[in-house]
Amino acid sequence: MAQQTMSFQAEVKQLLQLMIHSLYSNKEIFLRELISNASDAADKLRFEAINNDALYENDPQLRIRVGYDKAARTVFIEDNGIGMSRDDAVTHLGTIAKSGTREFFQRLTGDQQKDAALIGQFGVGFYSGFIVADKITVESRRAGLPGNEGVRWESGGEGDFTVETIERAARGTTITLHLREGEDELLSSWRLKSIIQKYSDHISLPIVMRKESWDAEKSEMVLQDEDETVNQASALWTRSKSEITDEQYQAFYEHIAHDSEAPLAWAHNRVEGRSEYTQLLYVPSHAPYDLWDRSQRAGIKLYVRRVFIMDDAEQLMPSYLRFVRGVVDSSDLPLNVSREILQESRDVKAIREGGTKRVLGLLEDLAENQKEKYTTFWRTFGQVLKEGLGEDNANRERLAKLLRFASTRQDSDEQSVSLADYVARMKEGQDKIYYVTAESWQAASHSPHLEVFRKKDVEVLLLTDRVDEWMLSFLQEFDGKPLVSVARGDLDLGQLEDTQVKEEREKIGETFKPLIEKMQEALKDKAKEVRVTFRLTDSPSCLVADEHDMSGTLQRLLKAAGQKAPNFKPILEINPEHALVRRLSADDSQLADWSHLLFDQALLAEGGSLEDPAAFVKRTNTLLLGHLQ
């Protein structure tokens, strides 16, 4: 087929522009990206060859070659991996196939460093070649295709690219970068080698270069015919821990996670026994752009006896640990394992359980010994970890210890109080863990339900994440102490209340009976019940959910998420010690208006919205006027 000129997808053009500018200060990463693609291509070949040995075409020694040509001012990266057909080149090098492209563009900030990290995460490696090159030529042939079905792809990285069919004997891909003005320092083995050692040492394939030596006559470095391997060329996780430096662990993380920020922690170990595998797992320090995307890929790569099998092996980690990145290399699984087999495999189950324990161990260690890092972890992934309380029965207790909450003990919304901290400072006679849920920290910390607790100096946890209510349905107690909502059911302060006061209050309650009956009649469409409470000090009224009903917060959350929420009527509690309530009487002609006002106020105070705001305003004004006359 003749040469064809084609246009880049609009997103690619935008990305190219952005990348050349925002990554310029870090331009040497282009080599890491192109080597990483070459290594992926080798992995793919090995994987396809499991069922089709002929793909090796008598050239089974997989390797990557890097070199330069001083006269032509080019740098090349060559592999004998899977290669590309003409169609492959058009789609893979002309479009961005990834989901979430639009979201990605929305998240760009204009801040070079942040954007560079985002680009890295998004994994648009190939185009990074244009940071140093004003023209890139790709020549390739896919393994298994005949020699006359090679492809040459070429572009100046602006609006379009050309493709043509070529003759190519060698399987795999050669990428030639025609350097921009001023990039000549790359025309040196020494320079290329040092970049490779910095970023790509962990690549498990040999990366070879021609040796270079000093030519005294020409007084410059010249290339020799002999090759040398410039990286360690063994999969990092197969080496023993003591031989691996922190820098190497971090470089490997960058490679697999596309994340330029150092991870918070990692665990590397070999498990022997019924099921044998090696795992190298990382906890990132910030969230991937698609943490909340339901279709997001899991972060574990599966290898079987060093052969790459698949990315995104979601069976290997529970969904609440989906932020974990890493590699699992199994000695037991068959090489031709499929996702279906993974689902049923007992070995996979063992790996998943082992991996989960490792990660929880890492987190416990951070929580115990590196509190600052744990705070970062919690801010970033706390909400995801909470999902585990519902998902993972077996580890519920360990997970509960890792939870952190905001509390009335502090003035900020920082979630830093653990259940153990709470229990350790419970009051004499306190036998429950109290919490309040609300849609925001503001609403929670100002909730009227907290008044009596403030008065008695009892700590209350402030829960404001969307998953909290759901999570709590799986976490009824901690350390033998039940978790109790301060806004649910009859407030029973247990030993915190002295019996004499209690009896007195019951008497007061009696005297309010006729009033309560009238109010209940007035509010029969809104409230399940009206009753006297002693949980308030400053507010005249509050709403509580009945013992087994859904809380108002959860009902509102469900509605906001477009889901059907059952309509549980709340209970209205009134404060008999409040001046407003004391002035109410059963035969007040405006009692119905007062009742509605107390109800609506209580609803507003917990962050709810009124069904009929106009009626509320009118009623308030009528009552105010009555008072002024």
Q: Is residue 92 a contact point for ligand ADP (CB under 6 A)?
A: yes
Q: Is residue 389 a contact point for ligand ADP (CB under 6 A)?
A: no
Taking the C-alpha atoms of residue 315 and residue 338, their distance in angstroms, rounded to an integer, is 11
- In whole angstroms, how close is the CB of 296 to ligand ADP at the nearest point? 15
**CB of 142 within 8 A of CB of 84?**
yes
Q: How many residues bind ligand ADP (CB under 6 A)?
A: 17
Residue 40, marked binder:
no
Q: Is residue 173 a contact point for ligand ADP (CB under 6 A)?
A: yes
**CB of 19 within 8 A of CB of 124?**
yes
Residue 209, marked binder:
no
- Report the SS3 class of residue 334: coil
- In whole angstroms, how close is the CB of 219 to ligand ADP at the nearest point? 36
Please give the backbone phi and psi of residue 431, each rounded to the nearest 5 degrees, phi first. Answer: -125, 10
User: Residue 45, Cα to own-chain centre: how many angstroms?
Assistant: 31
Residue 377, marked binder:
no
* Nearest residue to ligand ADP on Cβ basis: 125
Place of tokens 């106009």: 614
Residue 125, marked binder:
yes
Q: Which letter, b or e, does each residue of 478-500 get, where b requires 16 or more Cβ atoms within 10 Å of its Cβ?
A: beeeebbbbbbeebebeebbeee
Instruction: Return the number of the residue (47 or 126) whose C-beta is nearest ligand ADP.
Output: 126
In 3D, which of 149, 174, 146, 143 has the Cα closest to residue 46? 143
In 3D, which of 311, 308, 286, 284 has the Cα closest to residue 300? 311
**CB of 29 within 8 A of CB of 186?**
no
Residue 423, marked binder:
no
User: Residue 297, Cα to own-chain centre: how many angstroms?
Assistant: 11
Question: How is 267-295 classified by DSSP, letter by letter?
Answer: EEEEE-SSS-EEEEEEE-SS--TTTT-TT
Identify which range of 3-11, 29-37, 280-288, 530-538 contacts Mg ion by CB under 5 A: 29-37
Select from ligand ADP, Mg ion, none the partner in contact with residue 289, using the beta carbon and a kind-dependent cut-off of 5 to 8 Å.
Answer: none
Q: Is residue 82 a contact point for ligand ADP (CB under 6 A)?
A: yes
Which of 81, 125, 570, 576 is close enough to bind Mg ion by CB under 5 A? 125
Taking the C-alpha atoms of residue 404 and residue 117, their distance in angstroms, rounded to an integer, is 28
In 3D, which of 300, 301, 327, 27 has the Cα closest to residue 179? 27
Instruction: Return the number of the residue (124 or 584) whose C-beta is nearest ligand ADP.
Output: 124
Residue 534, marked binder:
no
Q: Is residue 78 a contact point for ligand ADP (CB under 6 A)?
A: no
Select from Mg ion, ligand ADP, none the partner in contact with residue 84, using the beta carbon and a kind-dependent cut-off of 5 to 8 Å.
Answer: ligand ADP
In 3D, which of 236, 268, 229, 232 has the Cα closest to residue 251? 236
Instruction: Return the number of the residue (60 or 334) whose C-beta is nearest ligand ADP.
Output: 60
- In whole angstroms, how close is the CB of 222 to ligand ADP at the nearest point? 28
Residue 121, marked binder:
yes
Q: Is residue 76 a contact point for ligand ADP (CB under 6 A)?
A: no
- Alpha carbon separation from 226 to 18, 195, 212, 229 (Å, rounded): 40, 21, 9, 10
User: Residue 576, Cα to own-chain centre: how many angstroms?
Assistant: 48
Which of 47, 56, 126, 568 is close enough to bind ligand ADP by CB under 6 A? 126
Q: Is residue 121 a contact point for ligand ADP (CB under 6 A)?
A: no
Select from Mg ion, ligand ADP, none the partner in contact with residue 494, using the beta carbon and a kind-dependent cut-off of 5 to 8 Å.
Answer: none
Instruction: Return the number of the residue (81 or 284) whose C-beta is nearest ligand ADP.
Output: 81
- In whole angstroms, how close is the CB of 124 to Mg ion at the nearest point? 8
Instruction: Return the number of the residue (37 or 437) whose C-beta is nearest ligand ADP.
Output: 37
Q: Is residue 123 a contact point for ligand ADP (CB under 6 A)?
A: yes
Q: Is residue 125 a contact point for ligand ADP (CB under 6 A)?
A: yes
Identify which range of 6-14, 124-132, 314-322, 588-596 contacts Mg ion by CB under 5 A: 124-132
- In whole angstroms, how close is the CB of 34 to Mg ion at the nearest point? 8
Which of 22, 37, 140, 174 is close enough to bind Mg ion by CB under 5 A? 37
- In whole angstroms, how close is the CB of 379 to ligand ADP at the nearest point? 28
Name residue 212's beta-bridge partners.
223
Structure tokens, 480: 């033998």
Instruction: Return the number of the residue (104 or 422) whose C-beta is nearest Mg ion.
Output: 104
Select from ligand ADP, Mg ion, none the partner in contact with residue 92, using the beta carbon and a kind-dependent cut-off of 5 to 8 Å.
Answer: ligand ADP
Q: Is residue 120 a contact point for Mg ion (CB under 5 A)?
A: no
Cβ atoms < 10 Å from Cβ of 156: 14
Identify which range of 34-42, 79-87, 198-206, 365-373 contacts Mg ion by CB under 5 A: 34-42
**CB of 32 within 8 A of CB of 255?**
yes
Residue 474, marked binder:
no
Question: How is 516-574 classified by DSSP, letter by letter?
Answer: HHHHHHHTTTT-SEEEE-SS-SS-SEEEEB-TTSPPHHHHHHHHHTT-----PPPEEEE
Instruction: Return the number of the residue (288 or 552) whose C-beta is nearest Mg ion.
Output: 288
Residues in contact with ligand ADP by CB under 6 A are 33, 37-38, 40-41, 79, 81-84, 92-93, 123-126, 173
Residues in contact with Mg ion by CB under 5 A are 37, 125
Numbered residues of the known binding site for ATP: 33, 37, 79, 84, 98-100, 121-126, 173, 339
